[in-house]
Amino acid sequence: MNDQGTMGGKAMPLLLMAPALLLLALIFLWPWLHYGWLSVHASSLLTGLKAVPNGGANWQRLLQDGRFWQDALQTLRFAGLSVLLELGLGLLMALSLHRPSRGRGVLRALMILPWALPGTVMALGWRWILNDPYGPLNGLLQALGGRSYPFLASPGTTWAFTVLADVWKTTPFVAIVLLAGLQSIPRDLEEALRLEGAGSWTLLRRLQWPLLGPYVALAVLFRLAQAFGVFDLIQLLTGGGPAGSTESLALYAYLNAMRFLDFGYSATLMVATFLLVVALSLVWLGWMRWQGARG
Amino acid sequence: MMRILLLCWSLAPLLWQLRTSFLVGDVLVGEQSQPGLSPWTLANYRLVLHGDPSLIQVLLNSTVLGLITTLLTLILALPCAYGLHALRGHLQRSIHAGLVGAALFPTVLLFLSLLQVARSLGLANHLLALSLPYAALSLPFAILLLQAAINDLPPELEDAARLDGLHTLQRLRLIVAPLLTPALASTGLLVFLASWNEYPIALTWLSRSDRLTLPAAMGRIASSSVYTIPYGPYAAATVLGSLPLLLLVLLFQRWIISGLTQGAVKG
């Protein structure tokens, strides 16, 4: 629709938008002003939970806080690997949903189910599946003649399974975005290539993957930002353990606020995480643009 | 073949929860069930339905909150999307970019500030007060999705309505809103799902057990004891908590997927 000037200038549109924008400002913008202010104050049990200005002490502490840097690396590693696997598996899922067939609706519904269910619900489900020694995975190991393994007690396997659980839950989202991309490709192009004798692999490499570019960029951007804020899954599946080896930045900030009651430092961590998410998104967007300019 | 593998991957963990929910505790920890007694039981379901809080109460809380949040979000998002559509130039582009940024953003980072708002306004433990932050968290995506749908409407319609002398609000109510019914339904479903699944804010706002939402109740079970999670009852709660969503997804997958696609790709 094009109704430029039909609402009597900008007043009417702005009036229509005002309630939503006010709520958005309260929920999305105000917290950052508040965090910014809090991050230059001491507000913890030591100050009786009152905010006392402390200059840059929180930020100085952040720079020297080994746990922060370790969590930042862990979060980055988690987000990077999860998103990479989600992209691969999501592409497979999208391709298999793209082929027309009977019962495709039910198939799609069942495949997106992990994405639609609450993360909290299955986080504990995974804890049962990985239980030592009674979970099904250990049951399988024992049936094969092995011994049960404490999957959630050694850093390596715990980390691998948090990634796996995240991939399980969010791959359907990536698949749906990529499926939209596949369906935007004109059928004639696919059929022309097929008539030339191209198989599925050639089709994917020469036609579908290049045209999926913007959809991949979008899915990865969204998933990177979300995975960098991972909280529900880690808190409930591992609690950040063993020995902090799966702790994410969001969980560290949460613990500072709710367990150590150090609101000043928690706010500092929030701001730092926010800046890292923005930086990560910009790097990804910049890289995609560079790729686009080059290709 | 590929489809069957992918389907197994998506469903196997859920089916295992289903199986677990019907097993007696002894069998879950590797012992034989008592001779002559069946290892299958409904005891886990009875326990969660009569527990404190009863799972019925929890599901009711989540449902009511989800419906109110959905309604509130749509009421705020529709006029906003219409206004944004009519706005031109720099202002439109900046607001649009801001909404995209907000939609991408990991919202867990907001919880501490929101908790302090809740405390200072006395909103903690008020279930319905949660619909305010929930609506706000869903608004960016909802507005973008509805705006994309309005852009797809034929411009002649509104021109005709204007010639008939309808003013802006009448056009929104009588022409645009009815045509947007499918987009409103898609948006509503996604908002409901998001509200049903939200965890960090519910975790920090709600402490009274009769006010908990499903994710908050699940979190409470998990933190009650690190070593002995009651997996049987927990699995039963998983199954009951997932059934409403399974129904929604099976019935409305087309709308959910089109909403996700429209909002993500066009927005």
- Kindly report the average pLDDT of chain A as a whole number: 89
- Give me the pLDDT at residue B253, please: 85
Query: Token pair for residue B144?
Result: 């973008």
The residue whose two tokens read 């405390």 is B119
Q: What is the pLDDT of residue A4?
A: 44
Q: Tokens for B128, please give them.
A: 């319905």
Structure confidence at residue A3 (pLDDT): 45
Average pLDDT rounded to a whole number, residues B247-262: 86
> Which residue from A30, A119, A218 is facing B265, i.e. has the nearest CB?
A218
Average pLDDT over residues B40-62: 86
pLDDT of residue B228: 63
Residues B140-189: tens digit of each pLDDT: 999 999 999 998 888 888 888 888 888 888 888 888 899 999 899 999 99
d(CA A179, CA A260): 45
Confidence check: pLDDT of A202 > 70: yes
Of B80, B133, B159, the CB nearest to A21: B80
Backbone angles phi, psi at A247, to 5 degrees: -65, 135
pLDDT confidence of residue A233: 92
Q: Which pLDDT score, from 0 to 100, does residue A7 have?
A: 59
C-alpha–C-alpha distance, residues A61 and A66, integer Å: 10
Q: Could you tell me if B197 lies within 8 Å of chain A, comparing CB atoms?
A: yes
B9 shares contact with chain A (CB less than 8 Å): yes
Q: Is the pLDDT of residue B5 over 80?
A: yes
Share of chain B above pLDDT 90, in %: 42
pLDDT at A139: 82
CA distance A227 to A75: 8
CA B172 – CA A272 distance, rounded (Å): 42
Can you tell me the mean pLDDT for A281-289? 91
What is the band of A254 on the pLDDT scale with cuts at 50, 70, 90?
A: very high
Contact A94, A179 (CB under 8 A): yes
Q: How confident is the model at residue B229 (pLDDT cuts 50, 70, 90)?
A: low
Contact check, Cβ <8 Å, B79/A34:
no
CB contact (8 A) between residue A281 and residue B104: yes
pTM for the complete prediction?
0.91
Residue pair A134/A149 in contact (Cβ under 8 Å)? The answer is no
- Give the gap in angstroms from C-alpha A7 to the nearest C-alpha of chain B: 7
Cβ contacts from A onto B, under 8 A: 266
First to last CA, chain B: 35
- Asked if pLDDT for residue A227 goes beyond 90, the answer is yes
pLDDT confidence bin for A262, thresholds 50/70/90:
very high
Count of CB atoms situated within 10 Å of the CB of B149: 25
Residues of B in contact with A173 (CB under 8 A): 260
pLDDT grade, residue B237 (50/70/90)? Answer: confident
d(CA A105, CA A103): 5
| End-to-end CA separation in angstroms for chain A | 34
* pLDDT tens-place string over residues A40-84: 999 988 888 888 898 889 999 999 999 999 999 999 999 999 999
Q: Give yes or no for B14 touching A (CB within 8 A).
A: yes
Chain A residues touching B245 at Cβ < 8 A = 113, 116-118
Q: Is B40 helix (H, G, I), strand (E, B) or coil?
A: strand
Question: Is 80 exceeded by the pLDDT of residue A1?
Answer: no
B90 contacts on A by Cβ (under 8 Å): none
Inter-residue contact A36 to A271 (CB < 8 Å): yes
Record: contact B16-A31, CB cut-off 8 A: no
Evaluate if residue B51 carries a pLDDT over 80. Answer: no
Percent of chain B with pLDDT strictly greater than 70: 92
Which among A27, A239, A266 is the nearest to B110, CB-wise? Answer: A27
Q: Do residue A7 and residue B238 have CB atoms under 8 angstroms apart?
A: no
pLDDT tens for A93-103 read: 999 988 877 77
> Which pLDDT does position A2 carry in this prediction?
45
Q: What is the pLDDT of residue A153?
A: 86
Express as a percent the part of chain A with pLDDT over 90.
53
Quote the ipTM score. 0.89
pLDDT in tens, A121-178: 888 888 888 888 788 888 888 888 888 888 888 888 999 999 999 999 999 999 999 9
Q: Looking at the predicted structure, is the pLDDT value of residue B227 above 60?
A: no
* pLDDT at residue B235 is higher than 50: yes
Is residue A195 within 8 angstroms of chain B, CB to CB? no
Q: How far apart are CA A99 and CA A203, in angstroms?
A: 13
pLDDT, position A8? 57
Say yes or no to pLDDT of B230 above 90: no
pLDDT tens-digit map of B113-126 = 999 889 889 888 89
The string of DSSP letters for A3-65 reads: -TTTTTTTHHHHHHHHHHHHHHIIIIIHHHHHHHHHTTEE-SGGGTT--EE-TTHHHHHHHH-
Contacts of B82 in chain A (CB under 8 A): 13, 16
Closest CA to A113 of B246, B112, B130, B169: B246
Overall average pLDDT of the B87-112 stretch: 90
* CB within 8 Å: A127 and B80: no
Does an H or E element contain A110, and which? helix A104-116
